[in-house]
């Protein structure tokens, strides 16, 4: 994964500018900002409000509505574990709970050393090879506790 950049108002303004020709550009801009900075920094909200001629409250409302947008940077590696029914049917919760205990974190949290963030997702469309997860965007199917732990350890120290 490309490491996120430190906050840079001019770079953020460029990103916003590049999307202004779109109809309803808010979500594409937020995705692009998060892609660049790893999260949606508070400083981005007034910039976006100005550019779109909306109130800060409206932008804040959008940012906080969607599960994807982070308010602080994530760990260096992002593990998205599916918690939906198809994965539940083959023991995803057991595997995920074991991983979280091993890392000493809860859902949505980052390990103290900043290496790993574990996020809950509801369906990756890998329901016929469940349970499933995305390890830094790479899909992993038919996992169990051991396979998930090994995959996380594999990226954690790389």
- Chain residues binding other proteins by CB under 8 A are 22-28, 30-31, 52, 58, 61-62, 65-69, 80, 82, 84-90, 121-130, 132, 134, 137-142
Q: Identify the burial level of 11 via C-beta atoms within 10 angstroms of its C-beta, where 0-12 means exposed, 13-18 middle and 19 or more buried.
A: middle
Least distance from C-beta 125 to other proteins, angstroms?
4
State which residue, 13 or 123, has the beta carbon closest to other proteins: 123
Handedness of CA 17, 19, 24, 27 (dihedral sign): negative
Integer angstrom CA distances of residue 141 from 60, 72, 78, 144, 147: 36, 29, 16, 9, 9
Residues shown for the chain: 158
State which residue, 84 or 100, has the beta carbon closest to other proteins: 84
State which residue, 68 or 113, has the beta carbon closest to other proteins: 68
Per-residue tokens: 92? 């995803």
Least distance from C-beta 105 to other proteins, angstroms?
19
Least distance from C-beta 68 to other proteins, angstroms?
4
Least distance from C-beta 112 to other proteins, angstroms?
25
20 three-class SS: coil
State which residue, 53 or 104, has the beta carbon closest to other proteins: 53
State which residue, 108 or 114, has the beta carbon closest to other proteins: 108
Least distance from C-beta 102 to other proteins, angstroms?
22
Say if residues 5 and 36 touch (Cβ distance below 8 Å).
Answer: yes
């Amino acid at each position: 994964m490309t490491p996120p950049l430190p906050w840079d108002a001019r770079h953020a303004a460029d990103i916003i500018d590049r999307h202004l020709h779109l109809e309803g550009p808010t979500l594409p801009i937020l995705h692009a900002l998060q892609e660049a900075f790893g999260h949606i920094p508070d400083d981005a909200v007034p910039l976006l409000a100005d550019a779109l001629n909306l109130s800060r409250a409206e932008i804040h409302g959008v940012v906080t509505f969607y599960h994807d947008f982070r308010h602080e940077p994530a760990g260096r590696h992002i593990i998205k574990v599916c918690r939906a029914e198809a994965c539940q049917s083959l023991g995803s919760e057991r595997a995920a709970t074991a991983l979280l205990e091993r890392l000493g974190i809860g859902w949505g949290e980052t390990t103290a050393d900043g290496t790993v963030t574990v996020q809950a997702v509801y369906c990756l469309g890998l329901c016929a090879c469940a349970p499933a997860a995305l390890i830094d965007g790479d899909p992993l199917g038919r996992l169990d506790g051991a396979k998930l732990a090994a995959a996380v350890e594999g990226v954690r120290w790389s």
